[in-house]
Copies of this chain bind each other. A is one copy, B any other.
Amino acid sequence: MGQFELTVGDIITICGTFSFAVSGAFAAMQKRLDVFGVLIIAFATSVGGGTLRDILLGDVPVFWLKNANYSLLILVTAIVAMIFWKKIKSLKITLFLFDSLGLGFFTVVGLQKGLAYDLSPGICVALGTVTGCFGGITRDILLNNIPLIFRKEIYATACIIGGLVYLLLSYLNVDATIVKVVSVSVVFLIRIIAVKYKLTLPRIY
């Protein structure tokens, strides 16, 4: 992010950081936290997945310690979110949309990083899923909400399908940028469709 030329990967990371910061800020405002609490939750939501990814891989100091731009982006995003709070009609839908976007972006970021570490494909999908889901899990645990991931609609499954699409398209030699855009969209759309049509996975009992 410190460079003047951004790669597609950088842009996806920035979009994911922004999306999860928005979802964290709105979730914190719903719980009536003070100004600083909103900043903390926006930060934890936004960096949570990538931090766990870097720790699991051993790529330390973790990304936001090495590059202050992430913290700056989250700070600005949270402040803007607080200012525009009242202009937004449905907080619930806004929160849901940004959570789903962040999920898609970070799934792809995590998966790519796994590939860069030469991990086996299945493990890369798992790492992408962990990266995508952990920010939201952190947000929900800190706010004492039931984690979205354990509510009834399809959630982590969207990351897995998105990750498999990524691997399939890469295997078919599709252009790298298209692979990324399609994979993010797949995760995002599965979430939208799952919530809209209340799609659920079967239970065992």
> Do A65 and B57 touch (CB < 8 A)?
yes
Alpha-carbon distance A126/B43, docked complex (angstroms):
11
A178 at interface by CB-CB < 8 Å: no
Kindly provide the distance from the CB of A30 to the nearest chain B CB, expressed in whole angstroms.
9
Q: A141 to chain B: which residues have CB within 8 Å?
A: 141
Q: A85 to chain B: which residues have CB within 8 Å?
A: 204-205
| Interface members, chain A 34-51 (any B CB < 8 Å) | 34-38, 40, 51
> Do B60 and A58 touch (CB < 8 A)?
yes
> Do B142 and A201 touch (CB < 8 A)?
no
> Do B204 and A38 touch (CB < 8 A)?
yes
A and B contact pairs by CB, cutoff 8 A, 6 listed: A34-B152, A37-B149, A55-B55, A68-B123, A71-B123, A71-B126
Q: A51 to chain B: which residues have CB within 8 Å?
A: 56
Contact of A61 among B119, B122, B144, B154 (CB under 8 A): B119
Contact of A117 among B38, B56, B61, B114 (CB under 8 A): B61
Q: A150 to chain B: which residues have CB within 8 Å?
A: 33, 37, 142
